[in-house]
Structures are given as C-alpha cells and as structure tokens.
Chain A
C-alpha cells in the first residue's frame, strides 16, 4: 500500500510511470463516494491535489484559446476571467453539486469519470475542446470526441495523467442549461450546451445525460445553418424554433433509468435547446 502526494507534475508523472495502475485522485468527489461505499478498495494512490501546475489556467498568447488545468476547481470557473471568456463553462460549473463539491471537484475528474451526465463535458464537446494527456516520456492531445468512448469509459492509457483541456475563445453567444429534480446539488437528468460562432457562421449543440456519452447534434447544426444566417443576429421564427427542438430531440439517444425516462429526457432537450437558441438571438 502506498500513497504518493507529489508537489510537481514531473514527480507525479514519475509516480505513474513507476506504478501505472495506481489510482489517481484529484478532488475525490467521485472516487471517495465509491470508496466509502466499498465499491472500490484502493491500495496504491497518487493524489494530485497539491500540484499547483494543474490548478491554473492560461490564455494562450494569441487570445484564441484557454487552457484549463485538470485540477482547477469548478469554483474558479464560476466568476472572473474564465467566466468572461467561456460563459457556457461558467454556467455549467455553477450547476455542479454544492459549494463544497465545487471547491474541490475538477474537469480532470469529470473527464476521468466520463459520465454522460458530467456537466463540463457538453461544454467541452460543443466547443470542440482538446484533452491534453502526459506520460513520463510523452504527451498527446486528443479531441474530446475521441477521448469519450462510452458510458464511464475514456481513452486514457495506464500511466497517463490528464493535465489540461484546451478550449477555443469563440465570438458569439454560448450557454448551458440543465434539468434536475431540484436547484442545488443535482446530477443532470438532461442538459444542453449551445455555442454560436458568429465569425464562422456555425452553431454547435451538445447534449448531456441522453446517450452513452455526450451527443453532438451535427445534423441539426448543419440544417439550422441552411435556414438562418448565423453570422448575424436574427430572430428565429416560432415554427423554425419548434422544428429545431424537435430535431435535437430526434438526435438524442436517451434511456429510462433511475433518474428519469427516455421520453421525458427527449422532451427536456427539445425545450432546453429551444430556450438556449432563443437566448442566443436575444442578446
């Protein structure tokens, strides 16, 4: 049994190289629940909580991208610079758990768990984010869409540490909305992130908790671009808005489970996506 609490990423990477199957823990808000309920009995643990490098963010020089450390807690994304540059991420972060959970929970942990209900993930998907991983002797970056491979499954290799995610700064409206059974502390029943890229005249819509991983609605995105000019603000006619939501619902792949039914989830993503598109064109 060993517990390693490195202070630098370099030391953490040596630790994962020495013991690729050791359990990595950041905030512990997913893992400790499993451990407390005896669903997991760790022996070797590498804790990333004291690594400052993973708890920072950088705005890349040309002001086109933000790179967010895997260990940065959600509470840092709710306000300030990240919230200004990535409002959808701030909105998603704001919906996670409670202040106690947001003080330690991280995007690295959300990616590690890779639940279809993870609130950061639709934002990463809608923004075409990149996940940056490192091993002691190598580094790679993968698209979020290649990182998420199934329900609670991702393409991280043994020994790899998720170090950060890189997200583009987009001009245009973006937002996140989620349905749950109460206001605070609730895992999503269905969620939606919508990003309008005014410069390129495109829209992207990603849905949470309605498929094995996040669902990107590429068909509806392409369809809408043929119906309205996304480079300028335009009112969306009620009929078009209706059809937009219907098409989004059509692209979702929800199931019945302990949290909700497929039918309700399909309805919810139609309503959420229409609401977000309306907001996008109101401001």
Chain B
C-alpha cells in the first residue's frame, strides 16, 4: 500500500521499470521521457489541453502530464512506443503517412494513441464520434482535414483486413 516515493515500479508497455530518485510531484509524462527513455509521448502544454502526451492507462486514454507518476503503480500503461515494437507500423500510423496527416509531427503520437484507442472500442465510428474522440488533441499544422482522412483510410484498411 505504501510506496517509497524515491523508488517505485511502473508497468509500461508490458515491462516493469524501476523509477529511482524521483520527486513525488513528477508527472508520468516527465518520468516516461526523462527517466525511462520513452520520449515518444510529447509534452507541449503540461496542463491537459493539447493531448500530445496521451497514453493508455488501464484501458483509458489519459493525459500523462496529469498523472502523478508515483501514484501510477499497479497500472498498465501503454505508450505510443507499444504500437509498433518491431518497426511494423499500424494501419493508423501508415494512414497518417499516406494521407499527409503529419506535418511538424508534434501532435502525432498523441493523436495516434487517441485514434487507436477509439478504434479498439469502436471499429466503425461515425464522423461525430471521431471528432469527439480527438477533441482533446490539438494540431496547429494540418487543420485536421488530413487527420480525418487518415482516420477514414485506417478504418477502411482495417475493415479490408477484417479487423
């Protein structure tokens, strides 16, 4: 029940990581990036507004900047790095490339995690459901049009692959 705030374990992408010498107030985003060598999740606002730090925690898409890392023990955390462990991209990742959904790319990991999460729960979302699912992710470059096209593309490729 009690965790020593200086040493605790996090389960990230199926592996147990020991976090040492950490300050209690550190966010999960900070610990992932700076202590565990997982820089895929991005930090832009650190106030829950931009979604670029989105990860899956116990099956929910959450902002890792708003999770106190030392309290995230006993949780299953999946980051963008978990999606293509052997370098084989998912349908969503491929669609972002083919549809031009990536410009500067800063928002991309958070968007991809949010969209993968949506499609894992609902394989055939409506336009409104897609908009709703990524309403917590901000992109300053694309204007979103190509991102919606990427989602549509990923959905049809997944359907063709019977997913």
Contacts and interface: CB of A to CB of B under 8 A. Distances in A.
A100 B48 contact: yes
A-side binding surface: helix, strand, loop or mixed? loop
A143 B70 CA distance: 34
Contact of B67 (A3, A7, A32, A45): A32
A32 B68 contact: yes
Residue picked from A36, A49, A104, most chain B C-beta under 10 Å: A36
A185 B2 contact: no
A4 B24 CA distance: 11
B62 A1 contact: no
Contact of B48 (A25, A43, A97): A97
Contact of B60 (A41, A43, A103, A185): A103
Given A4-B2, A28-B66, A185-B135, A36 B71 contact: no
Interface residues of B, number: 35
Given A3-B24, A28-B67, A99 B61 contact: yes
Contacts of A11: 1
Contacts of A29: 48, 63, 66
A42 B25 CA distance: 6
B136 A5 contact: no
Contacts of A4: 1-3
| Minimum-distance CB pairs A-B, first 3 | A98-B136, A47-B71, A184-B135
Interface of B: 1-6, 8, 23-25, 27, 46-49, 51, 54, 60-63, 65-68, 70-71, 73-74, 114, 132-133, 135-137
Interface of A: 1-7, 11, 25, 27-29, 31-33, 35-37, 40-45, 47, 49-50, 97-101, 103-104, 183-185
